[in-house]
Structure 1
């Protein structure tokens, strides 16, 4: 039986991947444009685009709006449940040799969801503070962060500077409380909605890792609920 020839886009995929792994294209380096690659490989731009999309999905490349396509730094790794400790993103970046950042998207005082009322032990009428940020590593979006905290216990967080700040560190400085373990963790894979795709600079439908964490402090009291959406191609979770 005659062996089927490898598709052209896959040949380009393999060639660019080998160039990245071999160091020809280095982390954070911009690769040639689709037009330039099309000319280099003597193929259509559609063929090149398919290869680039697959390389982006597998975490080798990242498209930055208005700038071009760049080689990804090695995917960040995190042992979510190691020792039961919810490690801060700032520390994760430091361990991976990256610079952490944060862009505040929304800060609001809202009515709690049923699981938030139960976890925090809220009375009727009590509110929660919702903080939404996009967390970055070396200015590249990694995940959408949503933190929910009892407003009555965290009123200062409704007004303090949160750009590029560690909320873990702020809580420790303001209240002497710090998350030390997870009461429970929920993990599932979801597709990026239009709004999340826009915030994270990925294509709509790109796989995201949704992680919900219910964190306790050093006195076993509820601290926060986190609902995070990680870009799977830029973030690896070790259980």
Structure 2
């Protein structure tokens, strides 16, 4: 007759999940190692590993190579591909009770790539303004934001400080243009490079959701291209 006793890995799963929910292991904290949990529960490391993997799949934990296993920060949600523009990151933070902030990484004039020529209707020799920032919630990096705008249309933005400013608000105030819809959105999974991992405070190779969005303004004219790298363990996109 099959035993009705709770599997050992399930007990470990339930205990760690309860500890996370009760604040014993706060977001971004490191949990005990597999060896420590194996000794604590008097079970094999295989049993512990199964519980850890299930907790990771459920969004409670994330493994960082060479560093250990950490508690995921509560994930905010943002909808894309469902018609219209999503709420701004600032609005999402406020709704979730977080304090939004921004760190400017770079602001530069660059040459356009083929998809950018096509979207903006540019010549190959035309230039773009590239604004690269890290967006944070309660000082925790959530994603790297890269925005590209035609330089001739947005050259006055080069003098602006983007470290604590809403780009959408500036576009509306200075040019009377608002992002209203996407022409198309491309989504793929990539591993964090060493530079990106440092900026986002994650380990090299950690999964990122790479989203390229081609935004139109209220007149259905091309406004900007956004290339964002979201930390999957901290931010959830509803596709």
- The TM-score with structure 1 as length reference comes to 0.79
Distance 1:165 1:53 in 2: 40
Change (3 A) 1:33 1:166: farther
What are the residue-to-residue correspondences of 1:214-229 with 2, within 5 Å?
Answer: 214-229=214-229
Q: Is the 8 A contact 1:25 1:71 kept in 2?
A: no
Q: Is the 8 A contact 2:185 2:212 kept in 1?
A: yes
Contiguous gaps of at least 5 residues in structure 1 = 64-68
Q: Is the 8 A contact 1:109 1:129 kept in 2?
A: yes
Give the C-alpha shift of residue 129 in structure 1.
0.7
2:106 is the counterpart of 1:120: no
Partner of 1:66: none
Contiguous gaps of at least 5 residues in structure 2 = 64-68
2:24 is the counterpart of 1:25: yes
Partner of 1:148: 148
Distance 1:82 1:194 in 2: 33
Distance 2:202 2:53 in 1: 10
Over the residues paired in the alignment, what is the CA RMSD in angstroms? 3.6
Partner of 2:77: 77
Distance 2:24 2:118 in 1: 51
Cα deviation digits, residues 175-201 of structure 1 (max 9, x gap) = 111100000000111111222111111
2:198 is the counterpart of 1:187: no
Change (3 A) 1:176 1:27: farther
Aligned residues: 232
1:105 match: secondary structure: strand
Give the C-alpha shift of residue 205 in structure 1.
1.4
Change (3 A) 1:204 1:137: same
Give the C-alpha shift of residue 211 in structure 1.
0.6
Partner of 2:66: none
Cα deviation digits, residues 109-142 of structure 1 (max 9, x gap) = 0100011111111134220011111111111111
Q: Is the 8 A contact 2:73 2:233 kept in 1?
A: no
Partner of 1:158: 158
Distance 2:128 2:231 in 1: 26
